[in-house]
Every structure is written in structure tokens, then in C-alpha cells.
């Protein structure tokens, strides 16, 4: 035992006694620790605030702990004491004067500590019974008097609740930072009282002390009456309860590890129940050499629970955003734990929570989450990760766009990859790795999907705030998020969501030993090449004046990469670790869930069906389309939904009502009351009385407004009226110009045309072979004062692949597409689309091929008579023909008939008109032949005629040079060129042939012998009146099937059945000298395209009445003119498409080289190619007609190249057949 007498005159203990009570080296520390017994505390007498104190529970750790204490408080005497576990830290606030008076001003409970530094203080203490607390206060006062102390000070005790004993810890001869706790419960201003003591004023004459002891604050004279016996007079009871929380720059979820950096925002508002203070340097930063505490909050209440609730509210409203981590979120949840609420705490309570969650300063295995952390979260991890991914993606796109603008301003060429709309985000939270794909769908709209599950998405609005934050809206719930740290190699991204800090872990890599805080490497605890066990400390770093050990996350051999004394920044590599068992390293778990999570934090979204108002559907659909055309990503499903919603809105009779109601509602009280009442009545009556067939009387509504304006005589009043109603009239006008069922067709058309024009304005800079660099340079020069516009244009162009598809869909909606009637056909201004489509059609460049071809295709179709016009013209010619009229003029017009043949047949009920239509079809088919002797039989629905070849004329001699379109025109227009007879191949009159066309209902009608016997009676060879042709069969038989192919049976199957029928009657066909039998089959079937071309199957005698598949779907009279037989020698040919217009029949084939042909020419291209075979019957040969034929053929080839992707070695063949006899 050491006994010493305190010298009040010098204020010191004898040096010998002081030296005997302290230790001076690690050896003495080890000996003292073993003698006292573990666990022990090594403490520097001049330390404080958690510095210069270490708990040691093993002898081998004493030396390191002693050295750390010496390093944190250099030159301080050091004591070793036995650790009192599970005790309360209670302290008595003292105030003493120089006259020997001392008083206890109640006290504080500081039991919530981490690393033996106070985190939460409160007063008055309630842990100790009143009598025990009275003893503690008296002991503290006696101590102050014994040493003649004069000042404010604190006597600290460790209190053991089980045995109700207290033990002296230390006396702090100063005012502590938590002194406001005492001030709130005693109403004594301690700093003022200190000054008054220093002025020589006695305690009982200090006003606040007098008030505390129930006396008047001031006295007139200082005599015996003013003296208060502070030892016997009872002070006033405590004024409620006060709780204080220290705000520190520490990462609570990583063992209260200190952090440093700047603070961007600190938002705190004092209230009558809560006040606080904060302190940082002039730059708004907390540097790595400062104390981690930078703020203190104090909450009072009538009792402990009220004070606690006030503190919870204050912490949740406190907003601190910056590079640092803080303990705010952690403590706000900590003080809601049952243990704290019930005051079941001690000095080891918080350290136990930390240890359960953290081993040293690194997460166990890098990933483990404890119960305390779980209770701190009010959001599911999926929501945290989703918001984090959205914020990171939004921040990434914003940063890239800023980089794009900076490059423009500096005259550089920014990369288009900076404008990518899709971002991959990887986040790790609590051991789960979330791989997300965030897609930007609009300026503030994002969709989020888990990697590998693009069909399951969450849509969200993310808006960038002026203070750098992000306002997120998922499922109707808004949260404000901030990125407080973008992370580095050693630390992950950290964000705050609604005031809650969420720390995402870096990818766990135990082979790289790094620091995630700024500091200094103080000491290497092991040599290079040393084998470390998991959890073994390998070095110490100094952070905020504290020495902290870093421990190995896994077992392995260390290789140092940094030296002692080195300054460390977050993420710096300290050492490498060669792992013993790399395969045993804990890895993250990949997120396998559905991102369509419960977005309402445990509450299921409402399933109530909300009415879909047509004006909102219309507006949202247009916004989606405009976003897609502006370069933002629009998924296929969202595009389909946008067009579906647009269609639904356009055909909704209530669309004009809701659209007009918006501008009308703001005019109430600003226009004539009677007019407003009348207009509102029109709106409301239609809302309540409309039915499916009714339409809003937009014209009358519009007229009512304009009539009222015309009735105003005063010029100024009329001008003001017109200004007010202009928005209303502009909204109403489109609905006055719509006809048909789609009341919104005009408005939709104008909106879609605006979208097209905006897209054209952008792509005009890039099309026609311009390079990206040249286009951006031209844009920059034209917009020197508006680089934001350049960014918008480049963003739109960056999404060309997607936007061109959307523009193509818009063109289909406007034009009807694929032969279907457009829902916008009733729009008054549908012709306004032509200029935009013409400009799109003229765009050059492979990127624009698809959309340009679609526009040109429509323009070509528009140049032809419409289907209804053609049907009317054909019906007129049919009627004329059925009454024995001449239809040669119609045949020469070249009006396409094939696609409307079957639809017109179904419309005609009179057999004679059906036969007349069939004759008209055959006349057009055989227009290159001389036709005579037409016989129509309405009873058995048959038609017979004879035909002979026209005499052939050669336009050119073999020596005629033709190297250009001009040469061709000159040769054709040369006088007498068509009358030259010297080049005629043969002047003999060709023999006549017979053709019979029979109309039957179905294939069952041709299976009987009587059918063929009846039909073949029409051929003179069959009945013996004319001998069979010696050179081979010459006649043709056509069978028109009236029944539609409702089953959509394959042509191959039909053809196989027909072959069986024909071969069973082959002898009869031979007797009739039949050269070919052709079947015409309808392809109309319910929901299929309304005007498809019919199928044509041809069976030739020379093939044994097998189908000539080479000529399937080709009019047999034209087959030889396409010169396909020669082509089939070297290629396998498949028909791709057939097209027709007034001057040209086109057939497109996919030709694949035959193997035997490639043997002959081994260098030949083996890839398939497209052969276009065109057949034209023209009346006049001219440069203009040739050019039109060539352009039509080339356009068809372009469309086929785009659709089938065959771009090499394609061929074009045009056969011009003269009608001249």
C-alpha cells in the first residue's frame, strides 16, 4: 500500500509516492498487471476523451497496450488498475470556492461508453438509491475540501449495482463538455459560477447557488443572515431530466471507427426541449488529427422518458451530410433499445454490442450483421439497394453529361458513350451482392432490373436537387438521398436515405490490407513474411490522436507495402496477404430475388383500381414516346403500352371533355359568368350523359366561344378576352377537325407530327454520310452560346437505333401500316404528314435505312390509287364487261387487280358479274397475247377463250449502243423504231390455243371423274374437233377456288393432294392437250391481312402434272417472261415476296448457289443473294416511265435487303413487254 500526505501549500503529492504509484516502462507494466490480476486498465493520468486508456485481459497484450497509451498521451504518468466490470459510471458535479466551501450540484450517469469514452450522458442519476447517492455526493465534497479545491470539477465513480457500492475513479479539475446536463437540471450557470468563484465571491452569495438552495437570488448586505449552511441545507429537487448525446465523426457500424473529411450540410434546429452545438474548422472539415467529437445535443423533459423521446426526435431531424460518417443514426436507434429505455445498462453494454457486430475495426468476415444493426433499419435491404442503385445511376449519368459539356466547351470531341442510357450497378449490403441494371427512360425516369431478369423491373422517378441530393419516388413513396462517400478500394459507397446512413461494402478482398481512414502508420507489429492468424493485429495506425490496431481478416503471410511513419489516405495499401486457404474465404451471396419488391416497407401496395382518365393516358403515352425519340431508353413493352394507351385515349369520347376542362377551370371568375356557366354545363352534361356512340360537340363549343368574342364591341375588352381564351380555343380546335370514331385523331396526329419533326431536326445534322465528328463540330459552331442544346441533340442521336424504331412505329400509326386502316385516318390534317415522311425518306446512311424505307414505301403507296378507289374502278369495268362492253382501256390503265380479286368476288352475288370479274383478271393476265372468242357460262361458272402470241418486235438492233438512260430514251424515240420489220424474228401467224377457267367451291368438287369430263368438253382436242398439237400440249386450264382457306392449311399439303387428283385423271388431261393446270386459292382468313395476294399453284404436263414449285404464286402466263429457268440452273430459289403496282409486277427471290455450280467456279461468293425479277407492260417507252420502273424496283430491293439482311451480290432484272401488236 502507498500512503502519502497531500501538501495543500504546493498542491502536490510527494514525488516518491507519486512515482511508486505509477509505472515507467513495459516491464513494470507487465509485472504490475500480473500482480493485480486480469482484466486491468492501463490509464494515463493526463488522458481523457477515450485517449490514453486501454483494457487488457491477457498478459501478452500488456506491452502493446502500454506503448499505445504512452503514444496517445506522451509524458503523462501512467497507472494500472483492476477493471471493475459491469459497473455504472456515475459522477458528481462539484463547485468549490477558495474559502473552503464546496457543494455537490447533483450529478450525471455516463455509463453508455465505447472504448471507455462517453457517448451518452444523463442526469440526475437514477441507478443508485437516494441514500447511496447522498453518500457519493458527500464523499466528493469531502475530497474537494480535503485538498482545498476551488473551481468547478467532477468526481467520477464506478458504481456496482448488485452490492450498491461505489469506487473512486478520478477527479477532473475542470469543466466537462457534458456540463449542460447539470445546468438543465439545477438551473446553475456553471461557466458564470466559475468566474464568480475566481472573483472571490463565496458560494452562498452566488445567485444561482442561492436559488438552488431555496433562498432569494440577491441580498442587500453580505452578513451572517446571507450565509447558507451548504452542508445541512437541502438543495431543491432536480428540474426534470436531461439526456446528452455526443455527435462524433465515427462509423458506428464498424466499431466507432474515426472518419475525417468535409461536411457539405449540417441542418439542426434548436427547440425549447433540445439544443446543441457543433464545431469544425473554417473549411467545414474535420481533419484526421482532431478529436472525433464535433457536436453535442441536450434534450430535457419532465422525466427520463420524455427527455429520451425528445432526443429521439432531435436525432431523426438532425441532418449531417458529407465525407464523414456519424453516429447519429446508430444512437437514434440505440436509445430506443429496451435495455436503454429500462435503464438496464452499464459501462460494458455498448462495447458488447459493438463486439457482437465488429471485430476490431473491420467487419467479421467483411459481412456480418448483428441484432443491433438489424433493429436500426426501418427499410428492407432490397429497398436500400434499389435506391442506392438508382442514385448511383443518376449520379453517373449526370457526371457523364457534365463531362460531355466540358469537352464541348474546350473544343474537344466528346465520346458518345458518355450518353449511354443503361448503367450497370453493383452494390454489396450485409453480405449480399446486388447486381442491377438501371435504365434511364426519361429526364427523371429510371427503371431498375436485376441483372439477368430484364422483364422484372421497378420504375422510379429520380430528380437531382439543387443541393446535390436526389429526390427518389418508388411506388409513390418519396425519399431524399445523398451520396456522402463515393467509395474507394477500401470502403464502399455510403449514402443517406431519409436521414438514415446506408454503407455499402467494397468487394471483399482479404489479400489487400488497406486502411479506410486517413491517419499515420505508427508501428508494424510483425516482420515482413510473418504468418498471421485470422484476427491477429499486424500494425497500429494513429487516427484522431488515437492508436488503433488493424487486424488480419484471414490467415496468411504478410508482405509490407508501406513504411512506419507514412501518412495514409483512405484506400491506401498497407500490406499484401498471401492466404493460407483462398477457397475458404467468405464470399458474398448473389441477390436472386425479384426487384418487384414490397416498395411500401412492409405494407402491400393498394389494389384499388384507379380510373384511367383518357387525358392522362394520352399525356403519359406522348411523354413516353417523346422520351424514346429524344434518346432515352424505351423498352418494347413500354412502347407497346404507349401506343395501346394512345389508341385507347384517342377513341375515348371523354378525351376532349377532360382536356378542355383543364384550361376552362382556370378561367372561372375571369370570363363572363353566363358564358362560363354555359361552357361548364356543356362539359358536365356530357360527362354524365354520354354513351358509346355520342361525341362531344366540339364545333358548337368552339363556336360558342368565338361568337361571344365577336359580340364584344370594345376593342380593349375584346383583346383581353381573346388573350384569355386562346389556350382554351387551341385545346378545343383539334377536336373540331376529327371525324369518325376517333375523336382525338387530329390532336394525336399533330402531337405525333411534332415528335417526328423534332426527330428530323436532330438527325438532319447526322444523316447523308456525315461523320459524328463533323456533325458535332457543326453543332458546336451553330450553338456557341447554348451547349445544352448540343448535348440534347447528341443524346437524341446516341439513341438512334432505338428512336428510329419508334419513329417507324409512329409512321405505321399515322399511315395505317401493313394495309390496315389508320386510327388517325379521320384527322383533318393527315396530309400534313407527307412533308415529314418525304424528309425521312430522303435520309441517307445505313443507320436510317429501315425508317427511310418505311417512309418511302408509304409515299409510293400513296402515289397509287387507294384500295377503295381501285375496287370502284374495277367494279365499274366489270359491270361494263358484263354488258358486253370493251375494256381494253381499263387493261391498258394497269390498275392492280390481283389483291382485290377475291374480296370483289365475295361482294358480287351475281354469277355473271363474278365471271366478268374473272374475265377481266384473265384479260390482264394475258395482255401480252391476242385474245378472242370469249364464252361465259353462268350456269356452270366457267369461262372459255382462245389466245395466241403477239408478233414480236425488237426495239433495238444488235448494234444499237445503250450506255445510259439518255441513250435508251434516244433509241426508243428514234423515228420509225417501232415500225422496223427487218428485225422481226418470225412473221408467221402463231397458232391459237384454248384456255378454260372453271370456278368451284372447294377441292372436293374436283375429285370426281364427272368434273373433269365436264370441264374438258370445252377443249376441241378432247371432243375430237381439232387434232392435238404435234409439238406438244398447248391448252391451259384454270380452276378458281371460291372457298377461303380458313384452316390456313399449308400450300405444300394442298399441292400434294392436288397432285394425287390430277395424276388420277392424267389420260383425260392428255387427250384435251392440256399444257398446264393452274389453281387460284384465296388467302383471306378472318384476322389476317384484308387484301393478301392469292396463292397460285401450277402443274405442268412435262412434269407429269407435278407442281412446278419454281413458279409458285406466279401468274403462269407470265412465268416464262421472268427467265427463272436459266437462273435455277445455278441457284436454289425461294420466293420472298411479290409486289404489284400500275406499271410493274415484281417478284423477289432468295437465291442460294448450288454446290455443283460452286465446283465449277470455286471463287464464287457462296452467300445467298436477292434476285429481283420485274415484269412491266407499258404503252409508251419514255425516259420518265423507265426511271419510275427502275426506282420502284430499287425501292423493293432496298426493302428486301433491310428485311432479310442480304447485302452482297444482289441482282435486278426488268422485262419490258410491249403491248404493240
Active site residues: 174
Angle at 431 between CA 427 and CA 436, to 5 degrees: 25
SS3 180: helix
Q: How many CB atoms lie within 10 A of CB 1042?
A: 16
Half-sphere exposure of 182 (CA within 13 A, CB side): 29
CB 413 within 8 A of CB 773: yes
Q: Partners of 424 in the beta sheet?
A: 437
Nearest-angstrom CA–CA distance, 277 and 684: 60
Alpha carbon distances (Å) from 445 to 389, 404, 472, 478: 13, 21, 10, 14
Torsion of CA 630, 632, 638, 639, to 10 degrees: 40
CB 1023 within 8 A of CB 1017: yes
Nearest-angstrom CA–CA distance, 499 and 846: 51
Q: Partners of 1198 in the beta sheet?
A: none
CB 341 within 8 A of CB 308: yes
Q: What cell numbers appear for 428 in the block?
A: 454489396
SS3 1083: coil
Q: Partners of 590 in the beta sheet?
A: 433
Q: String of b and e for 166-194 (b: at least 16 CB within 10 Å)?
A: beebebeeebbebbbbbbbbbebebeebb
Alpha carbon distances (Å) from 83 to 38, 39, 76, 350, 977: 8, 6, 20, 16, 124
CB 836 within 8 A of CB 752: no
DSSP 58-99: SGGGHHHHHHHHHHHSTT--EEEEE--TT-EEEEEEEEE-TT
- Residue 925 — φ and ψ, nearest 5°? -65, -40
Q: Partners of 738 in the beta sheet?
A: 827
Full strand arrangement of the beta sheet holding 1074-1081: 929-937, 942-949, 993-1000, 1035-1041, 1074-1081, 1095-1100, 1106-1107
Task: Give the 3-state secondary structure percentages of the chain, helix then strand then coil, rounded to 5.
Answer: 40, 25, 35
Contacts of 47 (CB under 8 A, 6+ apart): 53, 69, 72, 73, 76
Contacts of 784 (CB under 8 A, 6+ apart): none
CB 117 within 8 A of CB 49: yes
- Residue 265 — φ and ψ, nearest 5°? -150, 135
CB 112 within 8 A of CB 127: no
Q: How many CB atoms lie within 10 A of CB 1?
A: 2
| Number of residues assigned to the chain | 1221
CB 484 within 8 A of CB 321: yes
Q: Partners of 478 in the beta sheet?
A: 473
Q: What cell numbers appear for 1099 in the block?
A: 402443274
Nearest-angstrom CA–CA distance, 459 and 602: 18
Q: How many CB atoms lie within 10 A of CB 957?
A: 11
Nearest-angstrom CA–CA distance, 1029 and 1033: 6
Nearest-angstrom CA–CA distance, 566 and 521: 5
Amino acid at each position: 500500500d502507498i500512503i502519502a500526505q497531500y501538501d495543500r501549500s504546493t498542491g502536490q503529492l510527494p514525488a516518491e509516492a507519486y512515482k511508486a504509484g505509477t509505472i515507467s516502462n513495459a516491464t513494470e507494466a507487465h509485472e504490475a498487471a500480473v500482480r493485480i490480476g486480469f482484466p486491468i486498465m492501463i490509464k494515463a493520468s493526463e488522458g481523457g476523451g477515450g485517449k490514453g486508456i486501454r483494457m487488457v485481459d491477457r498478459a501478452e497484450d500488456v506491452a502493446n497496450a502500454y506503448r499505445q497509451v504512452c503514444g496517445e498521451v506522451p509524458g503523462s504518468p501512467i497507472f494500472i488498475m483492476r477493471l471493475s466490470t459491469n459497473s455504472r459510471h456515475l459522477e458528481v458535479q462539484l463547485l468549490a470556492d477558495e474559502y473552503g466551501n464546496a457543494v455537490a450540484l447533483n450529478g450525471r450517469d455516463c455509463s453508455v461508453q465505447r472504448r471507455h469514452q462517453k457517448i451518452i450522458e444523463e442526469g440526475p442519476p437514477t441507478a443508485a438509491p437516494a441514500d447511496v447517492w447522498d453518500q457519493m455526493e458527500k464523499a466528493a465534497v469531502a475530497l474537494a475540501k480535503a485538498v482545498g479545491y476551488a473551481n468547478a470539477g467532477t468526481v467520477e465513480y464506478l458504481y456496482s449495482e448488485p452490492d450498491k457500492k461505489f469506487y473512486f475513479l478520478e477527479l477532473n479539475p475542470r469543466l466537462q463538455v457534458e456540463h449542460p446536463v447539470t445546468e438543465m437540471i439545477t438551473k446553475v450557470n456553471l461557466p458564470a459560477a466559475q468566474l464568480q468563484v475566481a472573483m472571490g465571491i463565496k458560494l452562498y452569495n452566488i445567485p444561482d447557488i442561492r436559488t438552488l438552495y431555496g433562498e432569494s437570488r440577491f441580498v442587500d448586505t453580505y452578513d451572517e443572515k446571507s450565509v447558507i449552511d451548504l452542508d445541512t441545507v437541502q438543495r431543491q429537487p432536480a428540474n426534470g431530466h436531461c439526456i446528452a448525446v455526443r455527435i462524433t465523426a465515427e462509423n458506428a457500424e464498424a466499431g466507432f471507427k474515426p472518419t475525417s473529411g468535409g461536411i457539405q450540410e449540417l441542418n439542426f434546429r434548436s427547440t425549447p426541449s433540445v439544443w446543441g452545438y457543433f464545431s469544425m474548422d473554417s473549411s467545414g472539415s474535420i481533419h484526421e488529427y482532431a478529436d472525433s467529437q464535433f457536436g453535442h445535443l441536450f434534450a430535457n423533459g419532465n422525466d427520463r422518458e420524455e427527455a429520451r423521446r425528445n432526443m429521439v426526435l432531435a436525432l431523426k431531424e438532425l441532418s449531417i451530410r458529407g465525407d464523414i460518417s456519424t453516429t447519429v443514426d446508430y444512437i437514434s436507434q440505440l436509445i430506443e433499445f429496451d435495455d436503454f429505455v429500462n435503464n438496464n445498462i452499464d459501462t460494458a453494454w455498448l462495447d458488447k454490442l459493438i463486439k457482437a457486430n465488429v471485430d476490431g475495426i473491420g467487419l467479421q468476415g467483411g459481412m456480418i450483421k448483428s441484432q443491433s444493426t438489424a433493429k436500426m433499419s426501418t427499410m428492407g435491404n432490397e429497398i436500400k439497394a434499389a435506391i442506392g442503385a438508382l442514385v448511383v445511376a443518376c449520379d453517373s449519368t449526370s457526371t457523364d453529361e457534365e463531362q460531355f459539356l466540358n469537352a464541348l466547351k474546350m473544343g474537344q470531341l466528346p465520346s458518345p458513350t458518355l450518353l449511354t442510357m443503361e448503367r450497370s450497378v453493383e452494390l454489396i449490403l450485409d453480405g449480399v451482392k446486388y447486381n442491377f441494371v438501371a435504365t434511364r427512360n426519361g429526364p427523371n425516369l429510371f427503371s431498375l432490373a436485376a441483372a439477368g431478369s430484364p422483364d422484372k423491373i421497378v420504375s422510379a422517378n429520380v430528380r437531382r436537387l439543387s443541393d446535390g441530393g436526389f429526390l427518389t419516388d418508388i411506388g409513390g413513396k418519396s425519399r431524399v438521398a445523398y451520396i456522402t462517400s463515393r467509395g474507394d478500394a477500401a470502403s464502399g459507397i455510403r449514402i443517406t436515405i431519409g436521414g438514415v446512413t446506408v454503407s455499402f461494402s467494397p468487394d471483399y478482398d482479404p489479400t489487400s490490407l488497406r486502411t479506410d481512414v486517413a491517419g499515420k502508420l505508427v508501428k508494424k507489429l510483425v516482420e515482413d513474411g510473418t504468418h498471421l492468424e485470422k484476427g491477429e493485429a499486424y500494425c497500429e495506425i494513429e487516427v484522431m490522436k488515437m492508436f488503433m490496431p488493424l487486424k488480419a481478416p484471414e490467415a496468411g503471410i504478410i508482405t509490407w507495402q508501406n513504411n512506419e511513419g507514412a501518412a495514409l489516405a483512405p484506400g491506401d495499401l498497407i500490406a499484401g496477404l498471401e492466404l493460407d486457404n483462398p477457397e475458404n474465404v467468405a464470399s458474398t451471396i448473389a441477390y436472386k430475388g425479384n426487384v418487384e419488391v414490397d416498395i411500401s416497407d412492409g405494407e402491400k401496395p393498394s389494389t384499388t383500381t384507379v380510373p384511367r382518365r383518357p387525358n392522362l393516358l394520352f399525356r403519359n403515352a406522348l411523354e413516353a414516346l417523346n422520351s424514346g425519340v429524344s434518346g432515352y431508353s424505351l423498352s418494347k413493352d413500354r412502347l407497346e403500352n404507349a401506343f395501346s394507351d394512345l389508341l385507347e385515349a384517342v377513341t375515348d369520347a371523354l378525351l376532349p371533355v377532360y382536356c378542355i376542362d383543364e384550361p376552362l377551370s382556370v378561367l372561372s371568375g375571369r370570363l363572363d359568368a353566363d358564358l362560363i356557366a354555359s361552357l361548364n354545363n356543356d362539359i358536365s352534361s356530357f360527362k354524365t350523359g354520354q354513351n358509346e356512340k355520342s361525341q362531344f360537340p366540339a364545333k358548337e363549343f368552339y363556336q360558342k366561344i368565338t361568337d361571344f368574342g365577336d359580340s364584344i364591341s370594345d376593342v380593349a375588352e375584346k383583346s383581353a378576352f381573346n388573350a384569355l381564351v386562346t389556350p382554351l380555343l387551341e385545346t378545343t380546335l383539334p377536336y373540331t377537325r376529327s371525324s369518325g370514331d376517333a375523336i382525338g385523331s387530329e390532336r394525336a396526329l399533330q402531337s405525333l407530327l411534332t415528335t417526328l419533326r423534332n426527330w428530323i431536326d436532330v438527325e438532319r445534322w447526322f444523316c447523308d454520310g456525315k461523320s459524328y465528328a463533323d456533325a458535332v463540330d457543326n453543332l458546336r459552331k451553330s450553338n456557341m452560346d447554348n451547349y445544352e442544346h448540343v448535348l440534347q441533340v447528341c443524346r437524341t442521336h446516341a439513341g438512334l437505333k432505338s428512336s428510329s424504331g419508334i419513329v417507324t412505329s409512329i409512321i405505321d400509326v399515322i399511315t395505317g401500316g401493313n394495309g390496315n386502316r389508320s386510327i388517325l385516318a379521320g384527322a383533318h390534317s393527315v396530309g400534313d404528314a407527307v412533308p415529314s415522311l418525304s424528309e425521312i425518306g430522303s435520309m441517307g446512311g445505313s443507320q436510317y435505312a429501315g425508317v427511310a424505307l418505311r417512309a418511302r414505301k408509304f409515299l409510293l403507296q400513296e402515289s397509287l390509287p387507294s384500295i377503295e378507289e381501285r375496287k370502284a374502278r374495277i367494279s365499274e369495268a366489270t359491270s361494263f364487261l358484263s354488258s358486253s362492253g370493251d375494256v381494253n382501256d381499263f387493261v391498258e390503265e394497269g390498275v392492280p387487280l390481283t389483291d382485290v380479286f377475291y374480296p370483289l368476288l365475295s361482294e358480287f352475288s351475281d354469277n355473271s358479274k363474278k365471271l366478268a370479274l374473272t374475265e377481266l383478271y384473265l384479260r390482264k393476265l394475258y395482255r401480252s397475247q391476242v385474245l378472242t372468242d370469249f364464252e361465259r357460262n353462268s350456269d356452270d361458272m366457267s369461262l372459255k377463250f382462245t389466245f395466241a402470241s403477239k408478233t414480236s418486235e425488237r426495239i433495238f438492233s444488235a448494234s444499237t449502243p445503250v450506255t445510259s438512260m439518255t441513250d435508251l430514251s434516244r433509241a426508243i424515240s428514234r423515228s420509225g423504231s417501232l415500225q422496223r420489220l427487218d428485225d422481226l424474228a418470225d412473221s408467221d401467224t402463231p397458232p391459237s390455243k384454248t384456255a378454260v377457267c372453271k370456278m368451284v367451291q372447294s377441292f372436293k368438287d374436283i375429285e370426281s371423274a364427272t368434273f373433269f369430263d365436264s370441264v374438258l368438253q370445252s377443249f376441241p382436242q378432247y371432243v375430237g374437233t381439232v387434232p392435238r398439237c404435234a409439238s406438244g400440249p398447248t391448252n391451259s386450264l384454270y380452276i378458281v377456288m371460291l372457298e377461303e382457306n380458313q384452316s390456313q392449311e399449308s400450300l405444300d399439303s394442298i399441292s400434294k393432294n392436288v397432285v394425287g387428283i390430277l395424276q388420277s385423271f392424267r389420260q383425260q388431261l392428255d387427250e384435251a392437250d392440256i399444257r398446264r393446270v393452274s389453281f387460284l386459292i384465296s388467302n383471306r382468313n378472318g384476322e389476317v391481312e384484308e387484301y393478301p395476294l392469292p396463292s397460285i399453284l401450277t402443274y405442268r404436263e412435262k412434269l407429269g402434272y407435278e407442281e412446278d414449285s419454281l413458279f409458285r404464286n406466279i401468274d403462269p402466263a407470265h412465268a416464262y417472261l421472268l427467265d427463272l429457268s436459266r437462273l435455277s440452273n445455278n441457284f436454289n430459289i425461294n420466293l420472298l415476296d411479290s409486289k404489284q403496282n400500275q406499271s410493274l409486277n415484281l417478284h423477289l427471290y432468295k437465291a442460294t448457289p448450288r454446290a455443283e455450280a460452286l465446283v465449277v467456279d470455286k471463287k464464287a461468293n457462296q452467300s445467298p443473294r436477292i434476285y429481283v425479277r420485274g415484269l412491266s407492260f407499258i404503252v409508251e417507252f419514255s425516259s420518265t416511265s423507265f426511271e419510275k420502273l427502275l426506282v420502284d424496283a430499287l425501292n423493293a430491293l432496298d426493302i428486301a435487303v433491310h428485311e432479310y439482311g442480304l447485302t452482297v451480290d444482289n441482282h435486278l432484272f426488268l422485262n419490258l413487254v410491249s403491248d404493240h401488236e
